[in-house]
Amino acid sequence: MSSLNNLNLSSFSVRELLCTVLTEDLAERVLAEFSSLTDVSRASYEEFTEVGFEESEIQRIRTVLELSARYWSQIPNVGKVTTPSEWYRLLEPLMQNKEQEMVRVVLLDKDCNVLSTPIITVGTLSSSLVHPREMFKQAIRDNAASIIMAHQHPSGDPTPSRDDFNATVRIVKAGILLDVEVLDHMILGSPGRYFSFREQGQL
């Protein structure tokens, strides 16, 4: 494993990062049983025990995941945001320099004040990964009046794909049913570049 002297954690592999917070044996078992960190975060207690993890090990794994979730969901130090350019300025520092596509949602109250910005999933954006249940679960829990869906393209090109359009339609329809307005779907590219469905008249 890479030396921990002069830490540059961004260069660490997922395996190396897990080994720094879990035992090496436990990290290896997690990676062997689950195909991605998303699968680990979604696994139930029963799913862990079925593949041989003990209660103390499950607690350690879940503690690491919970710390990460709380960090990325904490309320940003911003007030009201009402335009795509303001939404971009909020999202850009949270989503740049990531090797995989990250889907995040901005939760807003009725006055467009930011409640939180939780990560929904990490990986390729598709209708199977971005299920409305996951997108709106925390919005309903936090009594959000509206949301902004966002993800980034690691290629740097924010041009929406067919999957991006399909996911947008699906999430907007779900928002109508749940009475949570979807204000925009933003795609972030290289620094300074973004695509706003609302700004482009697609929403």
**CA pair distance 14, 4, nearest whole angstrom:** 15
CATH of the domain at 159: 3.40.140.10
Residue 41, number of CB atoms within 10 A of its CB: 18
pTM (2 decimals)? 0.61
Which residues touch 87 (CB under 8 Å, ≥6 apart)? Answer: 81, 106, 148, 150, 183, 184, 186, 196
- One domain, residues 41 and 121: no
The C-alpha atoms of residue 62 and residue 121 are separated, in whole angstroms, by 17
| Range of lowest pLDDT (12-21, 43-52, 67-76, 93-102) | 67-76
| Residue 123 and residue 50 share a domain | no
Domain holding 90, by residue range, is: 84-196
Give tens-digit pLDDT for 122-177: 765 544 457 788 889 889 988 999 999 999 888 889 999 898 898 899 999 999 99
Residues 31 and 68 placed together within one structural domain of the fold: yes
**Residues 34, 130 within the same domain:** no
Average per-residue pLDDT in the chain? 82
- Domain end marker among 28, 53, 73: 73
- Among residues 73, 108, 123, the one where a domain terminates is 73
